[in-house]
Amino acid sequence: MRQLLDMESWARKEHFQFFRQFEEPFFGVCADVDCTAAYQRAQGGNGSFFLQYLHATLTAANQIEPFRYRIDGEQVWVYDQVHASPTIDRPGGTFGFAYIDYHEDFHQFTKQAQAEIHRVKGSTGLHPAVSGENVLHCSALPWINFTGLSHARKFSFADSCPKISFGKIKDQHGRKLMPVSVHVHHALMDGYHAGLFFQALEELMGKS
């Protein structure tokens, strides 16, 4: 479900009108996220690490309203929930796009996610059967401890979905740190909101 954002009462109305005119309206930021507790949960048998951080990412994004905004023409829609469209690696070095619904309950989320991952790994197509605007585009680069990242973009395609990428874990002073890259549409949010996302993500990853 979605509803229209009241543009007249929106404090960022002028920011929206300004940034939506840019040829490249996305901005990106990278930061290390402490994932020690989530990694230990996965090592202890409580779901895969990938699903641990994907679920935490969706939970954080759903908590922060601008991550649920999408542009449609001259209007901004607010989705009740956003879901995941992650890349899933296949044997041989290729990947396929998946669609994974968000569920607050981690075990319910995991059950549905595992079925979708199995489907994509066993297929040859690139795109999922189901997708939409109310998704986060997620990708993993577990081979690279990146400090910056850019995305392929088709500027003629009206896209306002956040893009979140995850890199290689490194050990630092007994903690596990993972680089996370967030690219978001500047007409819909600012660095402040990206900061809220990183804060929420790290808190969720640290929960026991």
pLDDT, tens digit only, all 208 positions of the chain: 999 999 999 999 999 999 999 999 999 999 999 999 999 999 988 889 999 999 999 999 999 999 999 999 999 999 999 999 999 999 888 999 999 999 999 999 999 999 999 999 999 888 766 667 899 999 999 999 999 999 998 888 889 999 999 999 999 999 999 999 999 999 999 999 999 999 999 999 998 5
pLDDT at 129 (0 to 100): 61
The CATH number of whichever domain residue 130 belongs to comes to 3.30.559.10
pLDDT at 120 (0 to 100): 93
Please enumerate in sequence order all residues whose Cβ is within 8 A of that of 5, keeping only pairs 6 or more positions apart, or say none: 69, 75, 76, 77, 78
Segments forming the whole domain that contains residue 185: 2-206
Number of domains in the chain: 1
Per DSSP, what are the bridge partners of residue 24?
none
Q: Shortest CA distance to 87 belongs to which of 38, 126, 42, 124?
A: 126
pLDDT at 127 (0 to 100): 78
pLDDT at 208 (0 to 100): 57
- Evaluate the CA torsion angle 52, 53, 54, 55 in order and state its sign: positive
Rounded CA separation 176/178 (Å): 7
